[in-house]
Amino acid sequence: MGTPEFGVPCLDLMVKSGYKPVLCISQPDRPKGRKKLLQPTPIKIKAEELGIKVAQPEDVNDPIFLEELEKLNPDVIVTVAYGGYLKKKIRKLPKYGCLNLHPSLLPLYRGSAPINFTLFNNDTKTGVTIFKIVAKMDAGPILLQSETEILPEDNFTSLSEKLSIQGAKETIKALQLLELGEVKYLEQDHNLATFSNKIFKEDMFIDWSKPASEIRNLIRGLAEYPAATAAFRGKRIKIIEVELKEKNSNSPFGTILEVIKNMGILVAGNENDILIKKVQPAGKKIMSAHAFNLGARINIGETFENGF
């Protein structure tokens, strides 16, 4: 069971390792883009490419769909960012239960946005956890866990890719343990649990009065998609990459101090000034801040305003 791109390496490696699923379950196709055309999920695309049957129920717990699952008599159900809650009947259906790949070191960052939150908090390490699904969200006993270093240049996109590959390898190890009958689960310490809440549109807005380090972490944690947003000349602009600089100005926060050729746009920040290095104007692709300036012809003293 999976839906976004994050689960594709896991599905691919399962097939290559001799664990080809008898069925892939993904969320229904949803309309996307300006034309609102139905778009298949990345897992659906990959599953069809690999010759695996795909099901996309609106409710995976629907009794009629559950009857179809029962006919398959699964040994195990593997979930990776599926996006739906599994009720007791599904959890109890497979011989070995339902295993989930979660991109954090549980019990840290339970919830829907663990990769974002580890970057928001400027952590230096994270990892993946394979655990058995129980009724409470991300609270099941742990089968496998492995760490990875978060590099200073990492953002949400690069860290997601690293963890998806790492998680795929751990999933194969978990399936091998099941096959060998060498499974040992470790209960989580629920007192240490932290949570990563769903991210809403307003959470992506940059407030230039906040400490510059907090703004940098927000930008890292949302780049390259969905991205932190600001406003420039009354239009929304996504800020993709920044670098903190020594504070040399008393100008209002967000004021453009300098356009540095081939480097970026320096703006006044709280505690540090902020060098904007990459942006994405509305309706355009990601570009360097220098390239953006060539078209926008920025004037010193203009401002990047708070997101909207």
pLDDT tens digits, residue range 150-164?
999 999 999 999 999
Q: Residue 291 carries which side chain, given as an amino acid letter?
A: A
Class of domain 201-305: alpha beta
Question: So what's the pLDDT on residue 210?
Answer: 97
**What is the rounded (10 degree) CA torsion for 72, 42, 4, 282?**
-160
Strand partners, 80: 2, 101
Q: What tens digit of pLDDT does each residue of 186-245 get?
A: 999 999 999 999 999 999 999 999 999 999 999 999 999 999 999 999 999 999 999 999
Question: So what's the pLDDT on residue 170?
Answer: 98
Residue 181's CB is within 10 A of a number of other CB atoms, namely 6
Q: What tens digit of pLDDT does each residue of 242-281 get?
A: 999 999 889 999 999 999 999 999 999 999 999 999 999 9
Strand partners, 279: 239, 287
Domain residue ranges in the chain: 5-196, 201-305
| Domain pair 5-196 / 201-305, same fold | no
What would the CATH number be for the domain defined by 5-196?
3.40.50.170
Residue carrying the six token digits 């305003």: 305
Closest CA to 166 of 182, 190, 153, 149: 149
